[in-house]
Every structure is written in structure tokens, then in C-alpha cells.
């Protein structure tokens, strides 16, 4: 089975769609690729600040949710990043010219839409782990209804 275009799995668009392509996906895991090049958003000097790694991870989690929705014949839905635990990065910036492999693995999925993923960012050339974290997310069944209730 061929892998879908990652932009069809993530509800981000334009320049805020930070992931380059889908490398692998299944029911519990996903690996996305990010090439740090001249046009990369947040590129400053010789690299992209390590703090952007959290967003790479969050978008890979969103892509995994979108991949699952696609397999079930459902539409991609918006979700919310609730938190990040133990984000650790061994580099101050992801260097220009590097290719990152962003791995996510679901460790918890509640019926209420709450989920947790173990995430890591690996140097695509050398295989060294550059960042890791646990990402917690929430994906309501109906985002408009959820947002309306939240604002009352």
C-alpha cells in the first residue's frame, strides 16, 4: 500500500504544515520526515531552534490521528496539544541541511479522546536521537461543539 501525502493527514496548511513526507505508518506508530533547508520555517542562522521539535512531534501525532481516520474512512479532525512531558534535546538547533525522522508511538488512547504518545526525533543521516518527549493530546468528536461549550 502506498503512503498518502502527509499534508492530507494534518489539519495544518500553508507554511504551518512543517512535516515534509510520511515515511511509515501503522495503527500504533508513525514516522515523518522533515528536511531542514533554505525555505524551512523557523530557520535562523545555521538551524531550526530545538524548541520547534515539540511542534514537529505534535504534527506527527496529528498525522497519526489523520492516518487512522483515513483508514476508517473518516475525515481528518482537529485535535489539541494538551502538554509535553520530559522534552529533552541533545542539540541546541536542528542543523541546516539535516533530515529529521520524527517517530511517534501511541501509548494511550481513551474513549474520551485523550491520548498520549512517546515521541523522538532522530538524525536521518546518523541515527542519533536528538530529541524525545511524551506528548498528550485531546481530539473531541465534534470540535465546534467542544469549542462552543468551552467558551460558555
Q: What is the pLDDT of residues 72-122, one digit of tens each?
A: 999 999 999 999 999 999 999 999 999 999 999 999 999 999 999 999 999
Task: Assess contact for 51 and 42: CB atoms under 8 A.
Answer: no
Cβ atoms < 10 Å from Cβ of 65:
24
Q: What share of the chain is helix, strand, coil (3-state, %, to 5)?
A: 25, 40, 35
Tell me the pLDDT tens digit for each residue of 22-73.
Answer: 999 999 999 999 999 999 999 998 999 999 999 999 999 999 999 999 999 9
Alpha-helix residue ranges (DSSP H) falling in the chain: 53-71, 143-150
pTM score, two decimals?
Answer: 0.94
Largest CA distance in the chain: 50
Amino acid at each position: 500500500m502506498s503512503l498518502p501525502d502527509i499534508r492530507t493527514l494534518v489539519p495544518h496548511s500553508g507554511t504551518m504544515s512543517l512535516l515534509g513526507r510520511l515515511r511509515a505508518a501503522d495503527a500504533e506508530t508513525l514516522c515523518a520526515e522533515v528536511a531542514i533547508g533554505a525555505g524551512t520555517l523557523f530557520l535562523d542562522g545555521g538551524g531550526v531552534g530545538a524548541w520547534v521539535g515539540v511542534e514537529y512531534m505534535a504534527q506527527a501525532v496529528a498525522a497519526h490521528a489523520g492516518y487512522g481516520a483515513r483508514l476508517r474512512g473518516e475525515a481528518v479532525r482537529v485535535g489539541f496539544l494538551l502538554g509535553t512531558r520530559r522534552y529533552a534535546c541533545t542539540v541546541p538547533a536542528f542543523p541546516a541541511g539535516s533530515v529529521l525522522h520524527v517517530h511517534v508511538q501511541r501509548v494511550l488512547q481513551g474513549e474520551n479522546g485523550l491520548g498520549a504518545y512517546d515521541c523522538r526525533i532522530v538524525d536521518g543521516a546518523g541515527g542519533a536521537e536528538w530529541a524525545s518527549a511524551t506528548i498528550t493530546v485531546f481530539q473531541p468528536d465534534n470540535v465546534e461543539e467542544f469549542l462552543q461549550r468551552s467558551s460558555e
